[in-house]
Amino acid sequence: MVKPNQAAALENPLKRFLDAPGGISQDAAIQRATDSLEMIRHSAMEEIDSCLADIKALCTAPNPTPQQRQALHERGNSLLGFAGMYDMPDLCTAAYSLCELVDAMMMHGRWSAEAIHIHYDAMHKLREPHALTAEERERLVTGLRKVTARIGGLPPRFKT
Partner 1 sequence: MHTTSDGATFNFAKASVLILDANALFLDLVTGVLAGFGFRRITRCSEFEVAATTVKARAFDLILLDPYPNNEAAYHLIRDLRESGHNVATPILIITGHTYLRLVADTKQCGADFVVAKPFSMGGLLDRVLWVAKLENRHSALLAPVAPDGRVFGAQPW
Residue 12 vs 63, nearer CB to partner 1 = 12
Number of residues that bind partner 1 (CB under 8 A): 52
Q: What one-letter code names the amino acid at 159?
A: K
Q: To 10 degrees, the CA torsion angle through 147, 150, 153, 155?
A: -130
Residue 4 vs 62, nearer CB to partner 1 = 4
Q: Distance between CA atoms of 81 and 86, rounded to whole angstroms?
A: 9
Residues 61-80 close enough to bind partner 1 by CB under 8 A: 70, 73-74, 76-78, 80
**Interior/surface letters 96-106, b for 16+ CB within 10 angstroms, e for the rest:** bbbbbbbbbbe
DSSP state of 152: H
Residue 20 vs 134, nearer CB to partner 1 = 20
Q: How far is the CB of 78 from partner 1 (least distance, A)?
A: 5
Contacting residue, 52, 94, 100, 111, with partner 1 by CB under 8 A: 100
Q: Applying CB under 8 A, does 141 fall inside the site for partner 1? A: no
Given a contact cutoff of 8 angstroms between Cβ atoms, the answer to whether 64 and 72 are in contact is: yes
Contacting residue, 1, 4, 5, 13, with partner 1 by CB under 8 A: 13
Q: Applying CB under 8 A, does 35 fall inside the site for partner 1? A: yes
Q: How far is CA 26 from CA 29, 31, 62, 69, in A?
A: 5, 9, 50, 41
Give the binding site for partner 1 (CB under 8 A): 9-15, 17-37, 39-40, 43-44, 47, 70, 73-74, 76-78, 80-85, 92, 96, 99-100, 103-104, 107
